[in-house]
Amino acid sequence: MHVLIVGGGVVGLACAHALADRGAEVTVCEAGTLGGGSSGRAAGGIRTQFSTRVNVELSLSSIPVWESFDDEFGVDIDYRRPGYLFLARTEETAAAFRKNVEMQTDAGAPSRLLDPDEAREYVPELRTEQFVAATYSPADGIADPHSAVQGYVEAVRSMGGDIRSNTPVTGLSREGEDSDSDGEGWRVETPDETIEVDAVVCAAGAWTKRVAALADIDLPIAPRRRQIAVVEPDGDLPEDAPLTIDLDTGSYFRPERDDTAIVGGHFAEEDPDVDPDRFDESMDIEWAVEATERANDCAAYFGPETKIRNGWAGLYAVTPDHHAILDEVAPGFVVAAGFSGHGFQHAPATGEAVADRCLGENECEVDVSALSAARFESGETLTEQNVA
């Protein structure tokens, strides 16, 4: 079977790897540089603390790949696990935390519910008076998406995969749809040639809606601009501190190298009509100031002497319920997109789920049926509270 993957980010490459590993012929078409889209601007978080079981299970299934990536792919992705710390300011959020931890631990994640004083053991300068509860998981951590892209590219090519950068897909059509035949497979148009394949995987991230439209498929996936700032805290933020998320305000921070920290948050809604080909990739200084102030309201590391060093903006591919679409939406057309900021961490399990759909197999250990595109028509959408 010949499968063409549209998108050379970490999700598309993980799909290519899973397919090639099962014996499929694989072609990857990336419109720009490999990993140059959302993967190249991701923060690299990997966590098990979600509020829906399917997201937790995608993480749990992916983590063994991240743990063994250096050995299996020969590339160091700088995977480390300082944990994630979620904080609740309200009793309503705390009640959700209790429910989430019960579900997470039942799925196999080592999450724990904490009181604010216990949370301070992980973040010593936490302003505990602001919070009523917290959750922490030592299974959560961070890795380098750039290195993961490199590892997947080298592995797929070593298995005979054809990976093409600067090769946009300009047309998609079913074979035989313009004749009296019921033909199978797809014709994929690129500037260089027309490629006939058995199946297409759309893993184009923020560009997915445009790619799917080439096949007359309408998907509820939209690009959203998100920002990250790199700062020099004026407090002594421990280098092993967890990625800390103030869930009720949307603020988060974590230590970075060279005595810096990353701060961010989704507290300001970005332009819903952002053009993924023409968006501002730089950081807004006013946003960075607010992000730093909000982080300081959470923990006393980001006072007036904090220096904003630099930052950037990237794109999330967002669905209405902040969950991915992992589904064969038309015969031989599989979508793996709309992860709403969680694509990198879920890429390994996503690859296995996509390979199942392309090859008619059932090897992926995660039931992703809840991530079908049909949920948006049936009203059976999901709710992810931990959207940071």
- pLDDT of residue 272 exceeding 90, the answer is no
Strand partners, 6: 29, 202
Nearest alpha-carbon partner for 322 in 263, 250, 253: 250
Q: Which residues contact 212 (CB under 8 A, 6 or more apart)?
A: 202, 218, 219, 329, 333, 335
Query: At how many degrees (to 10) do helices 145-158 and 10-21 cross?
Result: 30
User: Model confidence over 105-162: pLDDT tens digits?
Assistant: 999 999 999 999 999 999 999 999 999 999 999 999 999 999 999 999 999 999 999 9
Per-residue DSSP letters for 230-276? Answer: EEE-SS---TTPPEEEETTTTEEEEE-STT-EEEEE--SPPPTT-BT
Banded model confidence at residue 181, pLDDT cuts 50, 70, 90? very low
Q: Are 302 and 322 in contact (CB under 8 A)?
A: no
Report the C-alpha gap between 347 and 7 in whole angstroms: 13
Give the C-alpha separation, 382 to 388, whole Å: 16
Asked whether the beta carbons of 133 and 115 are under 8 A apart, the reply is yes
Question: What confidence score (pLDDT) does residue 257 get?
Answer: 85
Q: Is residue 273 scored above 90 in pLDDT? A: no
String of b and e for 189-223 (b: at least 16 CB within 10 Å)?
Answer: ebeeeebebbbbbbbbbbbbbbbbebbebebbbbb
| Paired tokens of 186 | 């797809």
What is the arithmetic mean of pLDDT over 364-378? Answer: 95
Given a cut of 50, is residue 182 above it in pLDDT? Answer: no
- The whole-number pLDDT of residue 175 equals 79
**In this structure, are residues 254 and 375 in contact, taking their beta carbons and an 8 Å threshold?**
no
Q: What pLDDT digit, counting tens, does each position of 164-174 carry?
A: 999 999 999 99
Domains of the chain: 2-70+145-221+320-378 (3.50.50.60), 84-138+222-318 (3.30.9.10)
* Residues 19, 35: Cα–Cα separation, whole Å: 19
| 3-class secondary structure, 51 | coil
Cα–Cα distance for residue pair 234/275, rounded to 1 Å: 37
385 pLDDT band, cuts 50/70/90, is low
